[in-house]
Amino acid sequence: MHEMSLCEGVIQVLEDSAKTQGFTRIKTVWLEIGALAGVEIEAMRFSFEAIKKGTMAEDARLEIIDRPGQAWCLPCAKTVAIKQRFDACPHCGSYELQVTGVVVKPSRTPS
Ligand SMILES: [Zn+2]
């Protein structure tokens, strides 16, 4: 499952930042999921619950932030908001868009 490997990546990033930032416990994991990321949020929650066991995120709560779809417009040279993967740029009408906003960002709640 796509979400399963995404979650493995999330735990990996968390454990790496734990090492560099010197924390040992994670209370909350925030994920920003772009609308065009092709990620099922329910599958993501399910995978997280399964994968966190035995890791330092074992007691962590998963918070998911839905982000609107975004793309990089080559002619405009900026990020624009789109609703679907094959939408045209709302500013110049170009189809030379590269979909972004598909990043899953784990982070620690500032304490
Ligand atoms: Zn444009």
Q: What is the pLDDT of residue 77?
A: 95
Domain ranges of the chain: 2-100
pLDDT digits (tens, 9 = 90+) for 7-35: 898 888 888 888 888 888 888 888 888 78
- 16 membership: H or E segment, kind and range: helix 2-21
| 48-92: pLDDT as tens digits | 999 999 998 899 889 888 888 888 899 999 989 898 888 999 999
CA of residue 20 to ligand 1 center, whole Å: 39
Distance 102 CA to ligand 1 centre (A): 19
Closest CA to 29 of 18, 37, 39: 18
Compute the distance from residue 92 Cα to the ligand 1 centre, in Å.
4
Joined tokens for residue 12:
């990996």
Comparing CA positions, the residue from 2, 3, 1 lying closest to residue 64 is 3
- pLDDT computed for residue 23 by the predictor: 81
Dist. CA 83 → ligand 1 center (Å): 14
Ligand 1 mean position, distance from CA 88 (Å):
8
75 Cβ contact partners less than 8 Å away, ≥ 6 residues apart: 89, 92, 94, 96
Distance (Å, rounded) from C-alpha 25 to C-alpha 55?
10
Q: What is the CATH number of domain 2-100?
A: 3.30.2320.80
